[in-house]
Structure 1
Amino acid sequence: MKNGLLIIMSISLAIGICGGPLLARLYYINGGNRIWFTSFLTTAGCPIILIPLFFSFLRRRRSNRNKNQVNAEKTKIVLMKTPLFIASIVIGLLTGVDNYLYAYGLKFLPVSTSSLIIGAQLAFNAIFAYFMVKQKFTPFSINAVVLLTVATGVLALHGDGDRPANVTYREYVVGFLLTVVAAVLYAFILPLVELTYKKARQEITFTIVLEIQMVMCVAASCFCLAGMLVNGDFKVIPREAREFKIGGAMFYYTLIVITGIIWQAAFLESIGVVFCASALASGVLISVLLPVTEVLAVVCFREKFQAEKGVSLLLSIWGFVSYFYGEFKSGKRIIDNSQPLLETELPPLPVTDSVG
Structure 2
Amino acid sequence: MRTSSRSNLSFAVFLLSIDAGVLALHSSSDRPANESNKEYYLGFFMTLAAAALYGFILPLVELTYKKAKQAITYSLVMEIQMVMCFFATVFCTVGMLVNNDFQAIPKEAKEYELGEAKYYLVVVWNGIIMQCFFLGAIGVIFCASSLVAGIVITVLLPVTEILAVIFFDEKFQAEKGVSLALSLWGFVSYFYGEMKDSKKKKNPTSETELP
Q: TM-score, normalised by structure 2?
A: 0.81
Partner of 1:202: 70
Identity of aligned pairs, percent? 56
> 2:47 matched to 1:179?
yes
Q: Counterpart amino acid of 1:208? A: L
1: CA distance between counterparts of 2:19 and 2:169? Answer: 22
Partner of 2:120: 253
8 Å Cα contact 1:163-1:172 kept in structure 2: no
Deviations 1:213-244, CA, capped at 9 Å, x for gaps: 11110000000000011011222223332332
1:226 corresponds, among 88, 94, 97, to 94
Partner of 1:118: none
Partner of 1:333: 200
1: CA distance between counterparts of 2:40 and 2:203? Answer: 51
1:272 corresponds, among 123, 126, 139, to 139
Q: Residues 281 and 333 (structure 1 numbering): CA distance in 2 closer, same or farther, change over 3 Å?
A: same
> 2:6 matched to 1:138?
yes
Gaps of 5+ in 1: 1-135, 340-356
2: CA distance between counterparts of 1:180 and 1:151? Answer: 16
Q: Residues 245 and 148 (structure 1 numbering): CA distance in 2 closer, same or farther, change over 3 Å?
A: same
1: CA distance between counterparts of 2:191 and 2:47? Answer: 25
2: CA distance between counterparts of 1:332 and 1:279? Answer: 22
2: CA distance between counterparts of 1:300 and 1:326? Answer: 34
Quote how far apart the aligned CAs of 1:296 are: 0.8
Q: Counterpart amino acid of 1:246? A: L
> 2:180 matched to 1:316?
no
The number of equivalent residue pairs is 202
Q: Counterpart amino acid of 2:162? A: V
- The RMSD of aligned alpha carbons is 2.7
Q: Residues 204 and 235 (structure 1 numbering): CA distance in 2 closer, same or farther, change over 3 Å?
A: same
2: CA distance between counterparts of 1:317 and 1:246? Answer: 34
2: CA distance between counterparts of 1:180 and 1:305? Answer: 24
Partner of 1:262: 129
Partner of 2:148: 281
Q: Residues 232 and 218 (structure 1 numbering): CA distance in 2 closer, same or farther, change over 3 Å?
A: same
Q: Residues 295 and 193 (structure 1 numbering): CA distance in 2 closer, same or farther, change over 3 Å?
A: same
8 Å Cα contact 2:8-2:193 kept in structure 1: yes
Rg (Cα) greater in structure: 1
8 Å Cα contact 1:194-1:274 kept in structure 2: yes
Partner of 2:171: 304
Q: Counterpart amino acid of 1:333? A: K
Partner of 1:239: 107
2: CA distance between counterparts of 1:270 and 1:167? Answer: 37
1: CA distance between counterparts of 2:36 and 2:106? Answer: 30
2: CA distance between counterparts of 1:328 and 1:257? Answer: 40
Q: Counterpart amino acid of 1:144? A: A
Instruction: Give matches, 1:72-87, under 5 Å.
Output: none
2: CA distance between counterparts of 1:175 and 1:321? Answer: 33
SS at match of 2:30: coil
1: CA distance between counterparts of 2:104 and 2:30? Answer: 27
Q: Residues 338 and 246 (structure 1 numbering): CA distance in 2 closer, same or farther, change over 3 Å?
A: farther
1: CA distance between counterparts of 2:188 and 2:46? Answer: 28
> 2:59 matched to 1:191?
yes
Quote how far apart the aligned CAs of 1:194 are: 0.5
Deviations 1:295-352, CA, capped at 9 Å, x for gaps: 011223333343344333332222222112111212222333499xxxxxxxxxxxxx
Deviations 1:129-168, CA, capped at 9 Å, x for gaps: xxxxxxx9521111012222333444555462x3346264
SS at match of 1:138: helix
